[in-house]
């Protein structure tokens, strides 16, 4: 039994020998560079397994066309655990406009591509050929969100569930700590991998012949791959059915027939208790990249001195797949554990006194609770965010932040993961005043996304009235404080339901309220989000009503509309305005969006109190970037 945690998980047999390891119990294969930080899935899962008594090696960003890289640690005693890394490899390798990226923040020096397209499948294929008979377990965001037949934006087709393509034995979805230990213990006790079928939070394969002979009571059987790949209504029905089963208490097993196999998803894993979450995040992470790298891994610095306070999100944004990954139930750490972690990191070399973030998918969901969450789970017929049974804990968050500010060597504690302004009463500015006064580093991130009600309804976001009310309260607090602070809003183009006239209205809104954007998120249909289902089917999967879907050239023009001040985009803006019959907005007048090719500079003041830097591109999965085998904190909301 391995007891003492090493400074880094070993990446070579030389490192293994120093730890007296001749054969690893488990080998983690990841598309990211190995960074020993709890925001990186490989480090999180590796530390959890080591803490449970298993020896763990890491193969990070292997050269997949070579056998030597994937074979360098030998054959594990129990299994390989395979992930594409913190981000779906297709999202990581391509822009929303389907142009291949040349950089990769999860690679040394930021150089890309650091992983192949469809990395989980590629790594699994190679390992299956190299080590036949060795159990293969896939996980992370790529596997988790491709566990059913899904629309794939990059091939513009419906693809098999990943377990029907990749020769893996099991798929771990969502937060993986409990499942991965249960798998390791079962295999260690001699149980064959083919008999491990009932662990919550996992998917397995069943042969067609066995499925036909089984009693299907207790399963939610959704339309088959053949149906969903040829019938968009069937696809929407299938999505609605499996979406409703993503609750660890009331969820049932979901089955989907594929041409050569049947994919079965067990109910999600139960949420971690505060004590369990505390223990995991207080494992001895070095918060450094592995010393084998000579160049910095860019993804580390923005989160190096950040702290995860909770996981899960009940916001239910349609364009975010978090409901299928972390779930709606918020799991919060104790204040005492967070204080201990910040105290520890404040003593680390390189700490400048700034805690970069204390948060999760949405910072002010910390401590939120519902009487049903620990017994019957989330309600199938209502939304948490607008439910009277939901209890928020903004006072708990404020008290926690106050304690953190008092820790020696801590100068500032920031909230960088963003807040939901529809979660607190902006007429009572106590919470907002605390955040603005002490925890805002010049700008406060919020995500109105759009101003048209029919679009925000499809996005499951509050309307512009809520945003404007929040902005007024923020502005009044900023005036009292005298600080140069501003709101950093995120807006999205090309979302289902959005037409050119809606984007023109949003551009005019930005102009009239002196909001400035340099970059916006062009909606990207990533697997297993509600919005992606709408994009592919043209249907709202819950009501089966038609939804307008912008595609092709129009999608490009919609994005350009929010860059109307950008000289390089003005030809596209003129094209969009002409197409929509709004040539009245082309010309030299002050109310025009574009003139004779001259970009208008940003205004000096506005709705947010002062002109700030441009809004940044949103994370591909809604509130930020997901981690590997288990998702850590999200970085944006």
With 0-12 CB in 10 A as exposed, 13-18 as middle and 19+ as buried, what is 381? exposed
Instruction: Please check whether residue 231 lies inside any domain of the structure.
Output: no
Within 13 Å of residue 351, how many CA atoms lie on the same side as its CB?
21
The last residue of one of the domains, among 204, 229, 263, is 204
Based on the fold, state whether residues 178 and 282 are members of the same structural domain: no
Rounded Cα distance between 115 and 108, Å, is 12
Instruction: Please check whether residue 96 lies inside any domain of the structure.
Output: yes
Token pair listed for 524: 């990207």
Based on the fold, state whether residues 287 and 411 are members of the same structural domain: yes
pLDDT at 619: 31
Task: Please check whether residue 408 is in contact with residue 351, taking contact to mean a CB–CB distance below 8 angstroms.
Answer: no
Instruction: Please check whether residue 86 lies inside any domain of the structure.
Output: yes
Based on the fold, state whether residues 186 and 279 are members of the same structural domain: no
Based on the fold, state whether residues 325 and 199 are members of the same structural domain: no
Number of independent structural domains in the chain: 2
Instruction: Please check whether residue 418 lies inside any domain of the structure.
Output: yes
pLDDT at 559: 93
| Torsion angles phi and psi, residue 234, rounded to 5 | -65, -40
pLDDT at 424: 80
Which pLDDT tens digit goes with each residue over 258-302? 999 999 999 999 999 999 999 999 999 999 999 999 999 999 999
Q: Tell me the DSSP string of 230-262.
A: T-HHHHHHHHHHHHTT--TTT--EEEEE-SS-E
Instruction: Please check whether residue 518 lies inside any domain of the structure.
Output: no
Based on the fold, state whether residues 117 and 26 are members of the same structural domain: yes
pLDDT at 608: 38
Based on the fold, state whether residues 155 and 283 are members of the same structural domain: no
pLDDT at 169: 98
Interior/surface letters 346-376, b for 16+ CB within 10 angstroms, e for the rest: beeeebeeebbbbbbbbbbbbbbebebbeee
Give the helix ranges, DSSP H, for 538-590: 552-561, 570-579
Instruction: Please check whether residue 601 lies inside any domain of the structure.
Output: no
Cα–Cα distances (Å) from 463 to 8, 388, 447, 454, 535, in that order, read 47, 19, 11, 9, 21
Based on the fold, state whether residues 64 and 173 are members of the same structural domain: yes
Q: Which of 521, 612, 614, 497 is nearest to 566 (CA)?
A: 614
pLDDT at 338: 98
Task: Please check whether residue 289 is in contact with residue 10, taking contact to mean a CB–CB distance below 8 angstroms.
Answer: no
Based on the fold, state whether residues 175 and 296 are members of the same structural domain: no
Based on the fold, state whether residues 195 and 295 are members of the same structural domain: no
Query: 3-state class of 67 per DSSP?
Result: helix
| Torsion angles phi and psi, residue 157, rounded to 5 | -155, 165
Cα–Cα distances (Å) from 59 to 50, 62, 113, in that order, read 16, 6, 17
Q: Which of 25, 67, 61, 62 is nearest to 46 (CA)?
A: 25
* pTM for this predicted structure: 0.91
Instruction: Please check whether residue 565 lies inside any domain of the structure.
Output: no
Based on the fold, state whether residues 179 and 291 are members of the same structural domain: no
Instruction: Please check whether residue 32 lies inside any domain of the structure.
Output: yes
The last residue of one of the domains, among 157, 176, 204, is 204
pLDDT at 428: 67
Torsion sign, CA atoms 40, 41, 44, 50: negative
Based on the fold, state whether residues 152 and 23 are members of the same structural domain: yes
Which pLDDT tens digit goes with each residue over 387-443? 889 998 898 999 999 999 999 999 999 998 888 888 887 566 688 888 888 998 778
Q: What is the 3-state secondary structure (H, E, C) of 25-55?
A: CEEEEECCCCEECCCCHHHHHHHHHHHCCCC
Based on the fold, state whether residues 192 and 286 are members of the same structural domain: no
Whole domain around residue 75: which residue ranges? 13-204
Point out the residues of the chain with pLDDT beneath 70.
Answer: 1-3, 426-429, 518-519, 596-637
Pairing between β-strand 310-311 and β-strand 331-332 as defined by DSSP bridges: antiparallel
Place of tokens 């009239």: 512
The last residue of one of the domains, among 460, 477, 493, is 493
CATH code of the domain covering residue 316: 3.30.750.210
CATH code of the domain covering residue 22: 3.40.50.280
Cα–Cα distances (Å) from 629 to 111, 452, 519, in that order, read 22, 37, 30
């Amino acid at each position: 039994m391995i007891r003492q945690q090493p400074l880094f998980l070993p990446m070579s047999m030389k490192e293994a020998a120093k730890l007296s390891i001749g054969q690893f119990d488990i080998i983690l294969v990841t598309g990211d560079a190995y960074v020993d930080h709890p925001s990186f899935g490989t480090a999180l899962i590796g530390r959890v397994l080591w803490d449970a008594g298993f020896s763990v090696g890491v193969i990070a960003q292997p050269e997949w066309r070579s056998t030597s890289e994937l074979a360098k640690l030998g054959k594990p005693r129990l299994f390989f655990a395979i992930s594409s890394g913190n981000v779906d490899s297709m999202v990581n390798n391509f822009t929303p406009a389907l142009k291949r990226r040349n950089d990769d923040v999860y690679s040394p020096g930021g150089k890309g591509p650091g992983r192949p397209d469809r990395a989980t499948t590629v790594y699994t294929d190679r390992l299956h050929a190299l080590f036949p008979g060795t159990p293969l377990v896939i996980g992370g965001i790529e596997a988790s969100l491709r566990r059913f037949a899904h629309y794939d934006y990059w091939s513009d087709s419906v693809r098999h569930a990943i377990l029907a393509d990749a020769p893996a034995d099991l798929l771990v979805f969502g937060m993986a700590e409990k499942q991965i230990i249960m798998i390791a213990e079962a295999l260690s006790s001699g149980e064959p991998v083919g008999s491990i079928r009932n662990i919550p939070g996992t998917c397995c394969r069943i042969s067609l012949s066995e499925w036909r002979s089984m009693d299907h009571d207790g399963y939610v059987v959704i339309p088959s791959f053949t149906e969903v790949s040829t019938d968009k209504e069937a696809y929407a029905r299938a999505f609605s059915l499996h979406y409703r089963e993503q609750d660890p208490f009331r969820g049932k097993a979901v089955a989907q027939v594929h041409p050569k196999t049947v994919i079965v998803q067990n109910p999600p894993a139960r949420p971690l208790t505060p004590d369990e979450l505390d223990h995991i995040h207080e494992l001895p992470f070095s918060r450094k990249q592995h010393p084998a790298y000579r160049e910095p891994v860019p993804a580390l610095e923005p989160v190096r001195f950040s702290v995860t306070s909770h996981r899960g999100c009940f916001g239910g944004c349609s364009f975010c797949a978090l409901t299928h990954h972390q779930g709606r139930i918020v799991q919060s750490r104790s204040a005492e554990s967070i204080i201990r972690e910040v105290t520890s990191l404040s003593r680390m070399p390189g700490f400048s006194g700034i805690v970069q973030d204390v948060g999760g998918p949405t910072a002010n969901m910390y401590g939120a609770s519902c009487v049903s969450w620990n017994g019957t789970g989330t309600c199938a017929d209502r939304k948490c965010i607008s439910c009277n049974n939901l209890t928020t804990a903004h006072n708990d968050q404020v008290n926690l932040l106050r304690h953190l500010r008092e820790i020696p060597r801590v100068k500032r504690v920031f909230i960088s993961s963003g807040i939901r302004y529809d979660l607190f009463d902006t007429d009572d500015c106590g919470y907002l005043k605390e955040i603005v006064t002490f925890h805002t580093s010049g700008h406060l991130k919020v995500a109105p996304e759009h101003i048209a009600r029919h679009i925000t309804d499809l996005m499951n976001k509050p309307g512009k009235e809520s945003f404007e009310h929040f902005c007024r309260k923020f502005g009044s607090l900023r005036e009292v404080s005298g600080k140069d602070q501003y709101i950093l809003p995120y807006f999205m183009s090309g979302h289902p339901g959005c037409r050119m006239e809606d984007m023109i209205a949003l551009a005019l809104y930005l102009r009239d309220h002196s909001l400035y954007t340099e970059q916006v998120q062009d909606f990207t249909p990533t697997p297993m989000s509600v919005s992606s289902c709408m994009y592919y089917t043209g249907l709202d999967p819950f009501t089966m009503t038609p939804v307008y879907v912008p595609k092709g050239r129009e999608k490009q023009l919609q994005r350009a509309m929010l860059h109307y001040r950008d000289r390089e985009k003005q030809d596209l803006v003129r094209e969009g305005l002409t197409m929509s019959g709004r040539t009245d907005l082309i010309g030299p007048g002050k109310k025009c969006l574009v003139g004779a090719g001259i970009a208008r500079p940003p205004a000096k003041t506005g709705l947010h109190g002062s002109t700030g830097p441009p809004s940044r591109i949103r994370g591909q999965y809604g509130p930020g970037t997901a981690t590997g085998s288990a998702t850590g904190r999200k970085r944006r909301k």
